[in-house]
Amino acid sequence: MKKNTQCYFTTNNVKLIDYKDVDILKKFLTPHARMIAGKRTGVSAKYQRQLAQAIKRARFMALLPFVAK
């Protein structure tokens, strides 16, 4: 994902990041299923914390992989 000047979640008026919304969470993962840093994605610190928590919960609930090939 390219670096944006504006936060993705602020521009789309997302108040809470839901761990069940896998399509949005996948945008912030590399092909190897690693989280992309906030500096690269342009996500603000507030939403980066929520995003990390949502990704971890989705992984625990087996909605996202821990590791991908």
Number of structural domains, the chain? 1
56 part of a folded domain: yes
Could you list the residue range(s) of the whole structural domain that residue 26 is in? 8-60
41 part of a folded domain: yes
3 part of a folded domain: no
Determine the pLDDT at residue 1: 60
Nearest to 47 by CA among 56, 39, 38: 38
Q: Contact 54/17 with Cβ under 8 angstroms?
A: yes
Segment 29-52 mean pLDDT: 95
% of residues, the chain, pLDDT over 90: 88
Nearest to 64 by CA among 9, 27, 25, 14: 25
Our CA angle for 55, 59, 62, nearest 5°, is 140
24 part of a folded domain: yes
23 part of a folded domain: yes
Residue 64: pLDDT band by 50, 70, 90 thresholds? very high
Domain CATH number, residue 53: 4.10.640.10
